[in-house]
């Protein structure tokens, strides 16, 4: 397998990746723009877009921000509401894999920023039914989360006639350099289906599974083009206008707003996705079983590009986390009602044969991994000079019953303990 000589990404990255003559991947090359673009100019562009959507008559919200109890939510709301003075409607799709910390962070988010929040919680039995199907069809326990969180804001935009949706980072751009920042790509139903949803819209699932009904998947159905055009809905990504640095942004939020973080099972990043017990756990373990690399490679790659880890330090992190077994597999299996061997059978069908093979005893074996590519040709020539350390904070752990962390859901989410 070919691996980028600068970061840790393999040629079989599911979002598609290419390499130049030096062996550097498309993601690393696009990332170089972060140090060459005029971000002041880009931010002015953002301001112009935002102000053109400001509803000065105050008859409606100015925009929609999709949020969760983690992943850049505080930063995005802080930027849009405090810095630019827009009045956003926050929307959240309830993933139902919530950690207490995620519930706490989300409750504080709406309180601190004094925002209205709309939540969609789909009937848990329907979520289980859909998840059993997506596990079988595409080896995913996360399809419902991604489908829900990418569609609910669009449905609300159409229904409430709020044309502007503000997202954080564009993953295809940030990870594999699918687009330049200068393309200013916006949200599309096509990208959502092809990449976020692994090629499956809700309608495709109904067509294939007789016991799945239209009413089961209604919450996951993307509004049609006519509805979108009528309101003029568009979704912009802040990462095209602001030099995106998730670690630094989270640290600012910890300092200013007491955003809380925690250790995660399969990665060293303690900031992103702390709201979900499956994301950096069972879901990420599945990613590893499919593609031969996990979230730790994504996070180490990001830190290498931002010059806080050397490539060698990144590989050490991968060594430490990549093979770790998930903590919450039993919990998940009980919830969905599948045995561990049934789970393994379902996932094994999706292992990428370019990196996985069975040995003589029929056990799965990684044919290749970044650990075999520490000294590849071109590593020295293309390396980035590290300029800072890479330390992720774990904030003090306070439970809901402990004094000083009263997030009982009263009013806008804060009460007394």
- CB of 273: closest distance to Zn ion in angstroms? 22
Q: Binding to Zn ion by residue 7, rule CB under 5 A? A: yes
Cα separation, 26 vs 19, in Å, equals 6
Residue 5 or 122: the one with the smaller Cβ distance to Zn ion is: 5
Query: Vertex 56, ends 53 and 61: CA angle to 5°?
Result: 60
Residue 262 or 382: the one with the smaller Cβ distance to Zn ion is: 382
- CB of 24: closest distance to Zn ion in angstroms? 6
- Report the relative pairing of strands 234-237 and 164-167 from DSSP bridges: parallel
Centre a 10 Å sphere on the Cβ of residue 124 and count the other Cβ atoms it contains.
11
Beta-carbon contacts of residue 404 (< 8 Å; ≥ 6 apart): 398, 417
Give the max Cα distance, the chain: 72
Token couple for 261 = 């973080």
Q: Binding to Zn ion by residue 169, rule CB under 5 A? A: no
Q: Are 339 and 280 in contact (CB under 8 A)?
A: no
- Half-sphere exposure at residue 223, Cβ-oriented, CA atoms within 13 angstroms: 22
Residue 28 or 146: the one with the smaller Cβ distance to Zn ion is: 28
Stretch that binds Zn ion, among 2-10, 81-89, 285-293, 386-394 (CB under 5 A): 2-10
Stretch that binds Zn ion, among 7-15, 159-167, 273-281, 307-315 (CB under 5 A): 7-15
Residue 7 or 169: the one with the smaller Cβ distance to Zn ion is: 7
Residue 4 or 205: the one with the smaller Cβ distance to Zn ion is: 4
Nearest to residue 304, comparing CAs of 318, 320, 289?
A: 318
Residue 7 or 164: the one with the smaller Cβ distance to Zn ion is: 7
Token couple for 110 = 């709406």
Q: Binding to Zn ion by residue 6, rule CB under 5 A? A: yes
Backbone angles phi, psi at 357, to 5 degrees: -150, 160
Site mask, Zn ion, residues 26-65, x = CB under 5 A? --x-------------------------------------
* Displacement of CA 226 from its chain's centroid (Å): 28
- CB of 27: closest distance to Zn ion in angstroms? 5
Binding-site member from 4, 107, 212, 296 for Zn ion (CB under 5 A): 4
Contact positions with Zn ion (CB under 5 A) in 14-33: 25, 28
Binding residues vs Zn ion (CB under 5 A):
4, 6-7, 25, 28
């Amino acid at each position: 397998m070919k691996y980028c000589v600068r970061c840790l990404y393999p040629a079989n990255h599911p979002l598609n990746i290419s390499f130049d003559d030096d062996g550097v991947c498309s993601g690393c090359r696009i990332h170089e723009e972060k140090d060459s673009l005029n971000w002041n100019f880009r931010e002015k562009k953002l301001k112009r877009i935002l102000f053109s959507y400001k509803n000065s008559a105050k008859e409606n919200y100015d925009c929609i921000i999709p949020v969760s109890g983690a992943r850049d939510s505080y930063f995005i709301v802080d930027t849009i509401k405090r810095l630019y003075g827009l009045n956003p409607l926050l929307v959240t799709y309830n993933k139902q894999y919530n950690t207490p910390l995620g519930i706490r962070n989300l409750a504080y988010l709406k309180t601190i920023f004094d925002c209205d929040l709309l939540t969609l919680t789909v009937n848990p039995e329907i979520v289980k039914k859909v998840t059993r199907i997506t596990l079988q069809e595409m080896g995913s326990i996360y399809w419902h989360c991604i489908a829900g969180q990418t569609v609910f804001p669009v449905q609300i935009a159409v229904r409430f006639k709020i044309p502007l949706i503000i997202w954080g980072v564009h993953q295809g751009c940030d990870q594999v350099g699918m687009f330049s920042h200068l393309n200013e790509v916006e949200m599309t139903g096509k990208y959502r289906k092809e990449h976020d949803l692994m090629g499956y819209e809700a309608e495709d699932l109904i067509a294939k599974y007789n016991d799945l009904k239209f009413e089961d998947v209604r919450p996951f159905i993307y509004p049609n083009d006519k509805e979108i055009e009528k309101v003029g809905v568009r979704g912009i990504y802040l990462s095209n206008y602001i030099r995106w640095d998730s670690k630094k942004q989270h640290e600012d939020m910890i300092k200013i707003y007491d955003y809380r973080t925690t250790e995660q099972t399969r990665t060293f990043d303690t900031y992103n996705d702390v709201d979900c017990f499956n994301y950096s756990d069972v879901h990420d373990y599945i990613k590893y079983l499919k593609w031969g690399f996990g979230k730790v490679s994504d996070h180490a790659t990001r830190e290498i590009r931002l010059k806080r880890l050397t490539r060698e330090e990144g590989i050490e992190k991968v060594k430490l986390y990549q093979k770790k077994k998930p903590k919450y597999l039993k919990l998940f299996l009980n919830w969905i009602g599948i045995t561990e061997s049934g789970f393994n059978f379902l996932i094994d069908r999706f292992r990428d044969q370019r990196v996985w093979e069975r040995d003589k005893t029929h056990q799965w074996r990684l044919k290749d991994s970044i650990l075999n590519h520490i000294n590849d040709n071109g590593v020295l020539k293309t390396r980035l000079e590290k300029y800072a350390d890479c330390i992720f904070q774990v904030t003090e752990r306070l439970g809901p019953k402990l004094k000083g962390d009263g997030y009982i859901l009263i009013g806008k989410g804060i009460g007394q303990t």
